[in-house]
Amino acid sequence: MAAFGTSAPGAIETRSITRRRRLPVSSASVETTDTSSWTRLIRNATLATCAEGKPYGLIPKGAVALAGNRIAWIGTKKNMPATLPKTCAVNDVRGALVTLGSSTATRTWSGPARASREFEQRLQGASYEDIARAGGGIASTVAATRAASEADLLTLALARAAQVRRRGRDQRSRSSPATDSTRTTNSKILRVARTLGKRLSLTVRTTLLAAHAVPPEFHGRAG
């Protein structure tokens, strides 16, 4: 603090400087993070938070804490709490990218082999129209879905859901076959989708894609 004095004419201006005394900081005045509910800490990660300010909201040398299946805390290695519960598992991911759960777009329950075969055909130059004329494409998906039992579709769906989760996705959209005009098949796959959602902690959204190919029973019935 500076002080100035001029007690008499012609007096020399004096200045005294004193250092500000630091006040003691009590533990109560510092905000602490409650870690009592933490079950897992992932540290030394590159976090993609999607927050504004940085591309992808990246936090290098970051850490994320989980309390069960809930994100309890996100921060940097520098401000990571020093004390953790004894039951909290710690994973050092050595700079690996940790992202939010992503969403898988619409995908059919049946016909993965067909899809891979058709992808190979496309790589070799075949057009979608060529594949459809040869009996592939959406029409073959509809035929396979109609022929499969509800139990078979559920088995396929459970296997694919497990694959989706291993790849870091926590949401999935499911549409009824785009060309299927029968109530029986549509009801069947909707029941499968709902059963899948009940059995797994995976968000399943059922949607409708209106016909964009002619169902086999409507061929030749234009007009």
Q: Is 141 exposed, middle or buried (0-12, 13-18, 19+ CB in 10 A)?
A: buried
Q: Where in the chain is the domain with CATH 2.30.40.10?
A: 34-100
Overall CATH class of domain 34-100: mainly beta
CA atoms within 13 A on the CB side of 5: 7
Reported pTM:
0.48
Q: Tokens at residue 15, please?
A: 């200045």
* Structure-model confidence comparison of residues 195 and 200, the more confident one: 195
The string of pLDDT tens digits covering residues 77-104 is: 899 998 999 999 999 999 999 987 755 5
- The residue assigned the tokens 């509910």 is 37
Domain 104-217 has CATH 3.20.20.140: yes
The string of pLDDT tens digits covering residues 126-178 is: 888 888 888 787 777 778 888 889 999 899 888 888 877 776 665 555 555 44
CB 30 within 8 A of CB 81: no
Beta bridge partners of 70: 67
C-alpha separations of 109 from 25, 47, 201 in Å: 61, 32, 18
